[in-house]
Copies of this chain bind each other. A is one copy, B any other.
Amino acid sequence: MSDRGPNEGLIGAADARPHLATPALTLELGVFERNLAHMAETCATAGVALRPHAKTHKCAAIAQRQIEAGAVGICCAKLGEAEAMAEAGIGDILITSPVVTEAGLDRIVALAGRCASLAVVADDTDVIAQLADKAQAAGRTVTVLVDIDPGMHRTGVATPEQAVACARAIRESNALAYGGAQFYAGHVQHLEAFETRKQVCDFLAPQLAAALEALDAADLAPPKVTGGGTGSHALDLAGGVFTELQAGSYVFMDVEYNAVALREGEARPFETALFVLTTVISANARDKGLVTTDGGFKAFSTDGPKPEITGGAPAGATYEFMGDEHGAVIFDKALDGPALGGQVACVTPHCDPTVNLYDVIHVLDGDTLVDIWPVTARGRSQ
C-alpha cells in the first residue's frame, strides 16, 4: 500500500469526502488556516515568540506552515520525534523532555550536527556533564535550557538552587550553549474555568519568579523563558515572563480544549479543525436507536472524554466505545438514524494521542481532498 493510505487516489477529487475509506483523520483546511493565523497574530501582538509544540500534530507539513506563518521553530516532546522532524527538513527544534541515557545523549550530539538549531532541556547536573563531554568529543555545540518544575513533579529542577547549579554547569561547558529556562505547567491547560486557571497560574508564578531571581542573582539570567500552552496562552502572554510560547493544540482543538473557556464571556479564539470520519458498518439495531461505526479504541484517544458527534447523525446523538474497532452511535429512536454505509463525523477527544494513532491526515476544503499529509513522527516516542 502507498504510504498515503487507501485514499491516495482521491487526492484532487471534488467529491472525495463521502468516499473516504474510514476511520479517517480529517483536517478542515480553512479552519486550520484561521487557527494558524490567529495564534501567530496573538503572539506577535504580545511581543512573544511562538514555538508551537509538534507533539500535537507530529506532521512536518504542519510544522512548515507554522514556521511560514511566523513561528520561530517547533518543540518536540521526544528525541525520536525531533529526529523525524529534522529529517523532514525542520531546522529549529527544542526537545522539551530531558534525555538521560548514554545512547540518547549520543543521538542528541549527532542530531545537532544535522539540524540548523537544536536545543534540549535538562534538569540534572550529571546528565549535563555527560552531554558536555560527548558534545566536546564530537566537536559540536548543543544548546541546553534548564527545565523548571512548575510544581507537578513531572520534570524539572525542584529548587532555585538546582536551577542555578544546572545553569552554571551549562554555562561553564565550552561545548554547551546556555539557552535559558523552560517552565511548562501541563496541569493548568485543561482547567475549564478561566478564573481557576488564573488562580493556579498566579499560585505558580512565584515558583518561577524565585528560580528566575536566583538565576539572575547568580549572573545566569536566562536568555529566554519558554513554556505555556493553548489552555493558558492568554495568561502566559499577559504575564510578562515568557519570551516564547509552546502552544500546540490550537491548530486542531478537541473535545477537551473546546471545554476550556479561554476567557469567560468571550468567544473561543480557536475552532475545531480536526475530525475523525467513521462509517456505519452495522445497522440491525437501528430501530432500537443504535448503529455501529468502524471507529473504536484504535481510532480515538481514550484518555479523556468521549468523541463528540458533529455530523451524519440526528441532533443529540452520542458516541459510546464498542471495543477496539467499533463505536456505537446512540440516538432517539423516534428520529431517522444514520443509514448503513453512512458517514458519522466526530470531534477527537484529545487531539495529540488521537493523531498518534494515524499514519496520515486528510486535508479537506469542502468535500475536496486537497492533500494527504503524513504524520511524520507518528509513534516516535523513543
Instruction: Using CB atoms and an 8 Å cutoff, list the residues of chain A in contact with chain B.
Output: 1, 5-7, 19, 21-24, 55, 77-78, 80, 83-84, 87, 97-101, 103-104, 107, 123-124, 126-127, 149, 152-158, 162, 186, 279-285, 288, 290, 292, 294-295, 297-299, 301-303, 321-326, 328, 340-341, 350, 352-353, 356-359, 378-379, 381-382
Contact = CB atoms under 8 A, between A and B. Distances in A.
Contacts of A279: 100-101
Nearest to A324: B352
A73 B58 CA distance: 36
Contact of A23 (B303, B341, B350, B382): B382
* Copies per assembly: 2
A325 B77 contact: yes
A326 B149 CA distance: 14
Contacts of A357: 356-357, 379
Contacts of A21: 80, 101, 103-104, 382
Given A124-B284, A154-B292, A298-B356, A84 B1 contact: yes
Contacts of A6: 80, 103, 107, 382
Contacts of A22: 382
Q: Which 3 A-B pairs have the closest CB atoms?
A: A153-B285, A155-B282, A302-B303
Which among A55, A292, A381 has the greatest number of chain B C-beta atoms within 10 A?
A: A381
Given A6-B80, A298-B379, 17 more contacts: A5-B382, A19-B103, A22-B382, A77-B325, A101-B279, A127-B340, A149-B285, A153-B288, A153-B292, A154-B292, A154-B328, A157-B284, A294-B381, A295-B381, A297-B301, A324-B352, A324-B356
Contacts of A285: 149, 153, 158
Contacts of A379: 298, 357-359, 378
Which among A290, A295, A303 has the greatest number of chain B C-beta atoms within 10 A?
A: A303
A103 B1 CA distance: 15
A61 B379 CA distance: 20
Given A302-B301, A302-B302, A340-B100, A162 B284 contact: yes
23 contacts: A1-B83, A6-B80, A6-B107, A6-B382, A21-B103, A22-B382, A77-B324, A97-B281, A97-B325, A100-B279, A100-B341, A101-B279, A124-B284, A152-B322, A153-B285, A154-B282, A162-B284, A295-B381, A297-B301, A297-B350, A324-B356, A356-B357, A359-B379
Nearest to A147: B282
Contacts of A158: 284-285
A110 B176 CA distance: 57
Contacts of A358: 379
Contacts of A283: 124
Contact of A155 (B55, B152, B281, B321): B281
